[in-house]
């Protein structure tokens, strides 16, 4: 793929932000929008004000892939405060019996979704340390799992009661806390680029092509204009056929590797375009 200039890359990128405790997720979005002077921003997986950690922020055209990123599994580290002391062995046994695998959660009162029972998967829930009533843990969960509710329900089952004292998201999909950036670092990198050095900013900006983890359909250059106008992708548009199933999400990519859009397979030979990326550079490279 040809190297994109920064002006182009900004409008098709995501940033792995290390959100501090305190601001709302939408406040972080606004700070990023002001730094880059873009029209649209959005994030994948809202963090409560008191929760810190990985917040994936998308710029302009990249906001169109947030629905895909929302489905990514999440990992957290936190501290549980028990209202009554409970032995570590009892806590670990209760987690093993009732809080691993598929569980049923009712969203908390202040959530934006209907308060109806729903199933979520808990892939791991490990106790790292216990000092008195303070329990440090690490968990990997399906997207949409409420960790505060998980802790509350654990305390209820233990008969002790419990609440969350601290929570940090350490991973969402392929985005990890070790690769995240503070807002101050992002501003500094942007200012350095404006002074002629784009090295730091290139490390921060993650292109759409590097994020999407679904099957790629490479189409012919001659078909790009028609596809971006909303026509479906047919077998004759594809440079190479791949095995896809009806209903499967796919990305539509130019021969140079630039993403054109997202689509849904209607059959092995026909893909309905779902979201098109307004990428004026795609058809000519």
Domain range for 222:
214-284
105 and 222 both lie in a single domain: no
Active site residue 85: no
Low-confidence ranges of the chain (pLDDT < 50): 1-2, 280-285
Alpha-carbon span 87 to 115, nearest angstrom: 32
179 and 56 both lie in a single domain: yes
The CATH number linked to 34 is: 3.30.2350.10
Question: Tokens 């990992």 correspond to what residue?
Answer: 75
pLDDT of residue 176: 97
Backbone φ and ψ of 172, nearest 5°: -140, 115
pLDDT of residue 1: 44
18 and 57 both lie in a single domain: yes
Backbone φ and ψ of 148, nearest 5°: -60, -40
List the catalytic residue out of 29, 48, 237, 274: 48
**pLDDT tens digits, 16-73:** 999 999 999 999 999 999 999 999 999 998 999 999 999 999 999 899 889 888 889 9
* pTM score above 0.75: yes
Pick from 101, 60, 82, 29: nearest CA to 208:
60
Q: Does 1 reside within a domain? A: no
pLDDT of residue 20: 96
For the chain, how many structural domains are there in total? Answer: 3
The CATH number linked to 143 is: 3.30.70.3190
Domain final residue, candidates 209, 232, 263:
209
Alpha-carbon span 224 to 28, nearest angstrom: 35
Rounded to 10 deg, the angle between the 25-36 and 183-194 helix axes is 10
pLDDT of residue 267: 79
């Amino acid at each position: 793929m040809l190297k994109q200039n920064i002006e182009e890359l900004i409008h098709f990128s995501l940033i792995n932000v290390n959100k501090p405790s305190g601001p709302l997720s939408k406040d972080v979005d606004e700070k990023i929008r002001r730094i880059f002077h873009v029209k649209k921003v959005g994030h994948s997986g809202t963090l409560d004000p008191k929760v810190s950690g990985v917040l994936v922020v998308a710029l302009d055209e990249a906001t169109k892939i947030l629905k895909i990123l929302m489905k990514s599994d999440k990992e957290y580290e936190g501290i549980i405060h028990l209202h009554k002391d409970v032995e570590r062995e009892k806590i670990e046994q209760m987690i093993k019996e009732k809080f691993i695998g598929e569980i049923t959660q009712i969203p908390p009162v202040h959530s934006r979704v209907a308060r109806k029972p729903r199933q979520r998967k808990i892939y791991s829930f490990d106790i790292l340390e216990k000092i008195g009533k303070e329990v440090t843990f690490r968990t990997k969960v399906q997207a949409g799992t409420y960790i505060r509710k998980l802790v509350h329900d654990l305390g209820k089952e233990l008969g002790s009661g419990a609440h969350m004292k601290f929570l940090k998201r350490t991973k969402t999909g392929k985005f990890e806390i070790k690769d995240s950036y503070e807002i101050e670092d992002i501003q500094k990198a942007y200012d350095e680029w404006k002074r002629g050095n784009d090295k730091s900013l290139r490390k921060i900006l993650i292109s759409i092509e590097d994020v999407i983890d679904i099957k790629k359909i490479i189409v012919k250059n001659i078909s790009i204009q028609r596809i971006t106008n909303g026509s479906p992708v047919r077998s004759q548009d594809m440079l190479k056929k791949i095995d896809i199933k009806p209903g499967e999400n796919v990305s539509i990519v130019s021969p140079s590797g630039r993403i054109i859009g997202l689509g849904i397979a209607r059959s092995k030979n026909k893909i309905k375009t779902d979201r098109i990326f307004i990428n004026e550079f795609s058809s000519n490279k």
